[in-house]
Amino acid sequence: MASVTSRLVTHGLKKSFGPTRALAGVDFDARAGEVHALVGENGAGKSTLVKVLAGALVPDAGRIELDGQAYRPSGPLDAAERGVAMVYQELSLVPHLGAAENILLGREPTRWGLVAKDRARAVAAAALTTLGHPDVDLDVAVRRLPIAVQQIIEIARAISRPHSRVLILDEPTSSLTRGDVDRLFATIARLRGEGLSIIYISHVLEEVRAVADRVTVLRDGATVGGGAVSDLSAAAMVSMMAGRDVAEIFPRSIREPGATVLEVRDLAGIGKPLSAGFELRAGEILGIGGLVGAGRTELLRAIFGLDPVRRGSVRVHAHAGPASPWRRLSDGVGLLSEDRKGEGLALALSIADNLTLSRLSGLGPPGFVLPRRQADVAREWIERLGIRAASPAQQVQHLSGGNQQKVALARLLYHDVDVLLLDEPTRGIDVASKAQIYGLMDELARSGKAILMVSSYLPELLGVCDRVAVMTRGRLGPARPVTELTEHGVLMEAIGQS
């Protein structure tokens, strides 16, 4: 049972960025020995709230109390030293350092003025063992590790701090395998039992219901509801988040697949995939399931020309053979990367620049881009995809993660590609926005676009796709109609037990 003692409390918290009001008076409390979920649509204020709690932002108004005392950290380090640790959705590791160095960065144990490497390695190894990953190489540069392992290292850094009182987890499972998620949930249960307060942000309501004791719902920067998770249905939470009843999550119209537009035969990369073959038809959504690390991302990158191909062939319409990303775009193929921060977006540029980068023709006289015309185009897609932004000139780095994802998707739609390669397209997007993206995908397929989608979320694969193929240890199985598949069957196939 969670204690009724309030550990961290906010009263009327407000924060604005110019004309944009991110927090409009948030009242929130996290108790000792509980998991408190924080949910809301993208742009609702969740990230701003936890950044204030973690010392990364200073509120404009309101007050915060930590164990009954006034709490106003001067920065993230001050917050961490006072027992409030944060794990952000976007990784913040030093890529050229090893796991041990990242976990102890800034608080390395010393002996006679020098870093005590043996003690540092012991602390790092203990934290990783707690998370069920004692096998992580402590010395290899983290940039060489899979994103899922990097996420584990981020969490290990937070839980390795002594005297922690509050642990904030922002979408901690977004890059984890099912086994990693189970181990994380077991760790959360243990930390809760030790009296830690855990603030858990997730767009996956199944996770919220599985791991949280209470939930607070934010909308437009304000608290609009919440309570015990056991007293709230998923539908009730979604309605509070959206401020309206959300219709069918997985809309599916009658779709008539046409001619084959993408044909892959016995494709193998330098590492992965080991073997993949399928046909994708116009007006069809084909899903690729499997575990993180199975080779799904590498398959999309090889098709798009980003990764070298060791064997096999890719044919787009009538064009076959090796191709660069530029040639693929010319062929009408676009890729939405799962790593929007690292390679999907130019974060320092505006929404308008990001949206139009791949297709500048038509925005002015030959050789020129007229800012007003570019802004008009961006404004049209901002409205169509419901991107929450102050203006087309706003820098993408100042948008929430879900709105950044929408900008990346809008660029493909503006480029008017015929084949969309979507790698985890709804990662970090709230339920209402997911329904909007699913509806858009259905509309695109109905209009004749072909979509190849990688997803780790099984209800999404079975709810959106016409056919699904499962990748197991680098090898892609046959694509089958979703009417012949179940979540259990797909999972068993993914782990090689079909």
pLDDT tens readout for residues 249-276: 787 888 889 999 999 999 999 889 999 9
- Average of per-residue pLDDT values in the chain: 88
- Enter the tokens of residue 223: 């608290």
Q: What is the pLDDT of residue 228?
A: 94
Q: What is the pLDDT of residue 92?
A: 82
Query: Which one, of 359, 388, 391, lies nearest residue 375 by Cα?
Result: 391
Query: Which one, of 271, 330, 346, lies nearest residue 301 by Cα?
Result: 271
Across residues 73-94, what is the average pLDDT? 87
Query: Which one, of 148, 200, 153, lies nearest residue 176 by Cα?
Result: 148
Domains with residue ranges and CATH for the chain: 6-242 (3.40.50.300), 260-494 (3.40.50.300)
Report the distance separating Cα 346 and Cα 400, nearest Å.
14
Pick 209 or 242 by higher pLDDT.
209
The beta strands (E) that lie in 71-177 are given as: 84-87, 110-111, 114-115, 166-170
Pick 430 or 39 by higher pLDDT.
39
Query: Which one, of 30, 92, 99, lies nearest residue 66 by Cα?
Result: 30
Q: What is the pLDDT of residue 305?
A: 92
Q: What is the pLDDT of residue 180?
A: 76
- % of the chain surpassing 90 pLDDT: 48
Q: What is the pLDDT of residue 466?
A: 96
Report the distance separating Cα 284 and Cα 280, nearest Å.
7
- Enter the tokens of residue 280: 């994708």
- Reported as a pLDDT band with limits 50, 70 and 90, residue 248 is low
Q: What is the pLDDT of residue 361?
A: 87
Across residues 235-259, what is the average pLDDT? 78
Across residues 123-147, what is the average pLDDT? 87
- Reported as a pLDDT band with limits 50, 70 and 90, residue 206 is confident
All residues at 6 or more sequence positions from 287 whose CB lies less than 8 Å from its CB, including other chains: 453, 454, 455, 461, 464, 465, 467, 468, 469, 482
Q: What is the pLDDT of residue 57?
A: 94
pLDDT tens readout for residues 157-188: 888 887 789 999 988 887 677 777 888 888 88
Q: What is the pLDDT of residue 2?
A: 39
Across residues 355-370, what is the average pLDDT? 89
Across residues 445-453, what is the average pLDDT? 96
